A and B are shown apart, each in its own frame.
Chain A
Amino acid sequence: MRKATFLALLAFFALASPAALHAQFQEPTKEELQMTSDPKAPGAAAVYLFRQETTDDALHFKSYYERVKVLTEKGKELATVRIPYEVRSFKVAAIRGRTIHSDGTVIPLATKPSDLVDVKTAGYQRNTTVFTLPSVEVGSILEYYLQLRYDDNLVSEPIWEIQQPYFVHKAHYFFNPSKSDGIMNSRGDVLNKLMYGVHAGNDAKMVHDPVNHYTFDIADVPPIPNDDWMPPLNSVNWRVDFYYTNYSTGAEFWQNEGKRWAKEANRFANPSKTLQQAVAEIVAPGDSEDQKARKLYDAVMKLDNTSFTRQKSAAERKNEKLKAIKDAEGVWKEKSGYDDEIALLYVALARAAGLQAYPMQVVNRSRAMFDPTYLSTSQLDDDIAIVVIGGKEVFLDPGQKMCPFGLLHWKHTLAGGLRLASSGNGYAVTPSNTFLQNAVQRIADLSVDTDGSVKGTVRFVMTGQEALRWRQLSIKNDTEEVKKQFNESMRAYLPDGVQADFDHFLALDDYNNNLIGFVQVSGGLGASTGKRFFLPGLFFESHSKHPFVAEDKRTIPIDVLYPKKDDDDVTYHLPTGYSIESTPQVNTLTWPKHAMLKIYSSHMTGAIQISRSMVYNYTLLDPKDYAELHDFYQKVATADQQQLVLTRTQVAQGN
């Protein structure tokens, strides 16, 4: 269950009579009792025969009613029901439940539910009510009704999560909204319109009746999707969101809220006199736009970004006599601020330097996808900056500590949001990274011994997201810890038997340069027969777990976070007395416009260099592209298994 959100509300409602609604338990049909599997949900552990959620602002209660058919042992888990709720506003008013065996025997819930503290702070407490329906068996029908009452001075904006962990045969949702015309948001705006967004994969429609009741009936709801490399859940799950607003259309909402946000962003990013003086010390009069933009970027990167360190508590600020930060000038003076404040400071400094600069507020794509039909600015998470250099807009992420100039953190790419521009403000989407921006080069120089052991060095050269990840990790951890984690991460792609021992980084704190990591590797690598010696042809990939290989079908979109390029150059110095008999085949696999793999090798005296280059130039894919994706990665997986074959020479045999 998701907790409903509540708005501040004047407490002038007439007292409602106590909730009299008591859902009647439904008698199971013969078919339901005898059901052992479900053709609509093959292999499912359980199915929901029926679900009902009711939110009634007139009677101030929210209720849940479920009937679940248990089909396998795993399905018995649904006998335990956990309902979290916010303690100050809600109380559990009623719980009834029963288990019905497949022979029709009814076992009522007799044990008192437990009320457990989930989390409690000085101003907030969330509890969970837990109860377990008795005597559950495979074949049982589990049935319960739970009612939460809430304070009379609250109104609700229900969020109905239509998809559940298991297939739902039928569901009924009901909302009786408040009749009050005094609903206000925190700014004091009267919210006089109730709106809703329906995200459902079939034709179910909301019914709004003349007495202002909302009813939503739906059937045959598939379970919540759960796949690797999924985009954020809010972009794929079925749900209904209600919310109060004072706008009539989406266009009106985004225009007006955009104006409101722009006004506040411009106020914060005011290029004050203090900032202009600061800029004068940072940039030179003759600097180009690009030079100015970069110098100012470096200047804000030097500030303490408390989103990556720690925000001072009120007690510390008081102790240090620090004033509350109200604008970019305050951030500059304190040399400290959180990510969004630093992004807006950059905009202010750029403006002070005479550059065209605009703030943009975007969704964090690691959390959610932007939904323009959901008229709420609460979905926007972070601020970024846009500067115009040479007439071209450049998207920057100064709030992301260690993010190089010109790169957006991937979570801010392809992210929708509100932006300012010379032509006004409005909705926009950030650009994607290019694969050239996110490159990893792995250069190995390895000496192979006749016993199959290998020893050597590996140099990792990282740009873009990979470098950013390690650099941001190094802010929250010391270098030793980063080294350990780097070592641990390498286990995923080193061949079995080979160990890594990280040596040192270069440019860990210099985000404008490539990040380089040096690693010593050693261990058992080769296998031999009487005449031959075998080594993995693709040193870094022979042990890798390739995505999209195992499953041949996909129904939900694919999200690989960002485009990328991996280049490997591995030099094997051969053991004395061996010569090369066979190398990995020169191979080029292409998935036009999306991805490419190239493998090639070159011989030299006593050594061979094997190179592999893999590019993928996409971020989000439609499920219809999956067949080609799967086919490509299957070929990659098999190509990466090729071996290098060495032959023992006559001289070696004589030894």
Chain B
Amino acid sequence: MGISHLSPSRPACVAAAALLVVACHPAFASWFSKGQPIPQWGLDAAKTHTPDNAGDAPAVILFDEYLETIDGQGRAIEREREAIRVLKPQGRGNTCEVSYDETEKVNYFRVWTIAADEKHYQAQDTDFTDRGDTDVPIMLSTRKARIAHPPAVDVGATIVCESEELMEPYLQEKIWGFQSGIPVAFEALEIDLPPGRVRTDSWHNHEAIKPVEIAPNHLRWEIRNQPALTLRDIPSAPEWAALAQRMTVQWGDAAVEGRDNQWRAIGQWVTTLEANRPDPSPEITAKVQQLIAGAPDFYTRLSRITESIQKDIRYFIVMRGIGGLQANHAADIFRNRYGDCKDKTTLLISMLQVAGIHAFYVPLDHRRVVVDPDDPSLIGDHMITAIELPPDVQDPRLKAIVKAKDGNRYLIFDPTDERTPVGNLSSSLQGCYGTLAAGPSSQIIALPVLGPDANGTERKGAFTLAADGTLTGSVDTIHTGPQGADLRTTLKYSDEKERREALETAIAHDVPGAVVNSFEFVQPPDLDKPLELHYKLTAAQYAHSAGPLLLVRPRVIGSDVQAFNDKPRAIPIDLNATGRWRDTYDITLPPGFVVDEMPDPIDIDVDFASYHSAMTAKANQLHYEREYVVRQVQIPADKALSFRKFEGMIMSDEKGTAVLKKQ
């Protein structure tokens, strides 16, 4: 159970998202137990004072307690008790909800309100709504959420909720997310284990807390006055889920000493779950043999197979009970030609197996640093592939390589990324952690952060400026690496009209009133070749007269500025992607005009990035060039000052104005 505004953002692929959901409830009126008074724990919780750190929060969780009762087979029954006080009108939406799937069973879900005038109400069956997970067009999910709309929820009211649920049979861990978008006054987790069953706990972004053993093998952790985590108005912020504090209790195979052993157990579990799923069918074998026939080298064999999956297998998510974690059989995926991340990975492993290449599942979360090496768990929403590289393969095109603890090299590849060529890796996955599910060799791995040359854009513009300020010219752009892949993906899912509108909107941001005369995207069939964009534009009054002067901005198109502000910073800064971006613009001046003044060049180089720009005037030409290089995907908060200065200088350069005067 959780409050509604805490729902995680929509994952890119929901291979393991079921494990993020912390409670559930089916929809039968008998479970509401009409006419029950508010339990004593709820009455006590409602007496809690609003904590001082509530600030301007719209609501506060006064009490939130989980009790996980584990049976002899390791299956959990989860009880949650929660009390939420509404502090502001906009806090009325903070209600209780439980989510459930077809393999779970909810024993009861009761909700009451202690109104602002102290009157008591119990939610009736008409005060609940079930909502399916049906709003994503490319997803089929059997998960549902039951949402309470209790009466009398005004400012000052307290909502009291209690539910009990039999959890997924395979789930032998509890991920306790004890930080929320609103403050929490008191929260607790109890784990009641059968005699002799061992457990481990691990923490993410929080110091470990020792539990109290309130009965034999029955442990309780408590946390008080947890502040809200809100990223509103914080530019360039990492993912909320990566920053939010949590802890994990394991009581299954992963309840072993040592983080490495825990990750090994998790990887082994995934390996077992997906065992035999990649077994190739005769049709798969025939297809692979056809694909790799005559391939001269490893890269060619590999890329023919990966491109086949990227191009021919449509992305479609299927989440149905454990089907949210377990892939379909490779033969079915190949026949239907659609599947989600785990399906695509399965088919890829299968096809590579035919080609004599070993590959493995890598479950992870597509949001950077949500998976934490210090907090082993199944948390995540995505599945990609680790391809074992033979020792003799040393190909510079294969950049996204991880060296595992056993000395093997693995190429990291995301088969759901339909446009990033094998060897490269989408920027969003760089810096993530994932589980290499390789049976007894399973381990946590850090996905590589690639160098700037693996990604970027080179843009060249040639323009002519008329004396009335009209700018005409052409722009030629080359996009490489993940940036090119992202653009290819955008093109894939857009039509001609949408492309034109997107291009016009982007240009209008820099050159309001510009007219795109023509444009053309050039997409070579090979994904490792860059994507090109060529267009012509006309912008009336691009340069403005100022008395006898003509003012022109040499940086015509494109911005390298990342969002920033001057407020104190306590959380890391996400730079999004490494890469190298170059702009070169030549503007032919109107007859009779010469450059009177130009902005100073910019030259700044810090550890995470560099920016150089320069402007020259020769004869009747104004030449501007700049290069922006990003070397890291995330920097700590203590570099905020350096980051602000850096971004401020880029912004200043982008505003730079050249002054032309008539001779």
- Do B508 and A545 touch (CB < 8 A)? yes
Q: What sequence of 0s and 1s flags, for each residue 476-510 of chain A, a beta carbon within 8 Å of any chain B beta carbon? A: 11101100100110000000110100000000000
- Considering only residues 620-662 of chain B, those with a C-beta below 8 Å from chain A are 648, 651-652, 654-659
Q: Which of B142, B513, B597 contacts A531 (CB 8 A)?
A: B597
Q: Does A111 contact B (CB under 8 A)?
A: yes
A484 CB contacts on chain B under 8 angstroms: 232-233
Say yes or no for A550: interface residue by CB 8 A criterion.
Answer: yes
Q: Interface readout for B576-615 with A: 1 if CB under 8 Å, 0 if not? A: 0000000000000000000001111000000000000000
Chain A residues with CB under 8 Å of B269's CB are: none
A-chain residues with CB within 8 Å of residue B651 when the two chains form the complex: 496-497, 524
Given A545-B508, A549-B508, the answer on whether A529 and B597 have CB atoms closer than 8 Å is yes
Let me know if A529 and B598 touch, CB within 8 A.
yes
A534 (CB) vs chain B CBs: closest residue: B657
Query: Is chain A's interface secondary structure helix, strand, loop, or mixed overall?
Result: mixed
Which residues 108-151 of B sit at the A interface, judged by CB distance below 8 A? 115, 119, 121, 124-134, 137-138, 140-142, 144, 151
B354 to chain A, nearest CB (A): 20
9 contacts between A and B (CB under 8 A): A82-B137, A111-B336, A122-B29, A122-B128, A134-B335, A136-B338, A315-B121, A319-B119, A635-B513
Q: Given the complex of chains A and B, what is the CA–CA distance between A477 and B233 in angstroms?
A: 18
Query: 4 closest A-B pairs (Cβ-Cβ)?
Result: A43-B496, A582-B546, A550-B504, A637-B512
Contact of A532 with B140 in the complex, beta carbons under 8 Å: no
Instruction: Pick from A68-76, A206-214, A362-370 the stretch touching chain B.
Output: A68-76
Q: B337 at the A/B interface (Cβ < 8 Å)?
A: yes
Q: A478-B88, A642-B544 are in contact. Are A497 and B648 (CB under 8 A)?
A: yes
Asked if B316 CB lies within 8 Å of chain A CBs, one says: yes
Report the Cα distance A480→B337, complex, angstroms: 52
Kindly identify, within residues 498 to 533 of chain B, every residue whose CB is under 8 Å from any CB belonging to chain A. Answer: 501, 504-505, 508-509, 512-513, 515
- Interface pick from A112-120, A178-186, A399-407: A112-120
Contact check, B494 vs A74: say whether CB atoms are below 8 A apart: yes
Alpha-carbon gap, A526 to B599, bound state (A): 12
Q: Is the CB of B129 within 8 A of A528?
A: no
Q: A135-B335, A477-B89, A532-B659 are in contact. Are A122 and B492 (CB under 8 A)?
A: no
Count of A-B contacts judged by CB separation below 8 Å: 210
Minimum C-beta distance from B492 to chain A (A): 4
* Bound-state Cα–Cα, A466 to B74, Å: 59
B257 near A: Cβ within 8 Å?
no
Residue of B nearest to A638 (CB): B541
CB <8 Å contact, A80 and B316: yes
Q: Is residue A391 contacting chain B, with contact meaning CB distance below 8 A? A: no
Q: Smallest CB-CB separation from B88: which chain A residue?
A: A478
- Taking a contact as CB atoms under 8 Å apart, the answer to whether B142 and A114 are in contact is yes
Q: Is A477 within 8 A of B132, CB to CB?
A: no
Option from A45, A137, A549, A637 in Cβ contact (under 8 Å) with B312? A137
Are A319 and B121 in touch, CB under 8 angstroms?
yes
Are A496 and B56 in contact (CB-based, < 8 A)? Answer: no
Q: Please judge, given known A-B contacts A529-B598, A643-B551, whether A134 and B338 are in contact too, CB under 8 Å.
A: yes
Q: Identify the closest chain A residue to B512 (Cβ).
A: A637
Contact of A119 among B132, B137, B152, B659 (CB under 8 A): B132
Give Cα A655–Cα B426 distance, bound, in whole angstroms: 51
Is A121 part of the binding interface, using a Cβ–Cβ cutoff of 8 Å? yes
Smallest CB gap from A79: residue in B: B314
User: Are B27 and A120 in contact, CB atoms less than 8 angstroms apart?
Assistant: yes
Please state if B232 and A119 are interface contacts (CB–CB under 8 Å).
Answer: no
Which residues of B380-428 have CB atoms within 8 Å of chain A's CB atoms?
Answer: none
Q: B541, A641: Cβ atoms under 8 Å?
A: yes
**Alpha-carbon separation in the docked complex, A235 to B92 (Å):** 35
| Chain A nearest Cβ from B110, distance in angstroms | 15
Contact B492 A132 (CB under 8 A): no
Query: What's the least CB distance linking B648 to chain A, in Å?
Result: 6
Q: Is there contact, CB below 8 Å, between A79 and B130? A: no
Q: Determine the chain B residues whose CB is within 8 A of the CB of A480 once the complex forms.
A: 56, 88
A310 and B125 contact, Cβ closer than 8 Å, known pairs A114-B142, A531-B597:
no
Closest to B511 in A: A641
**17 additional A-B residue pairs with CB within 8 Å, beyond A45-B495, A132-B316, A310-B153:** A43-B496, A80-B138, A80-B316, A116-B134, A116-B141, A121-B128, A122-B128, A128-B132, A135-B337, A315-B124, A316-B115, A316-B119, A534-B657, A582-B546, A634-B540, A635-B513, A645-B551
* A-side contacts of B566, CB under 8 Å: 499, 522-523
A334 at the binding interface (Cβ < 8 Å): no
Point out the residues of chain B lying under 8 angstroms from A135, CB to CB: 335-337
Q: For residue B150, which residue of chain A has the nearest CB?
A: A313
B144 touches A117 (CB 8 A): yes
Q: Does A478 contact B541, Cβ atoms closer than 8 Å?
A: no
Contacts of A310 in B (CB 8 A): 92, 153-154
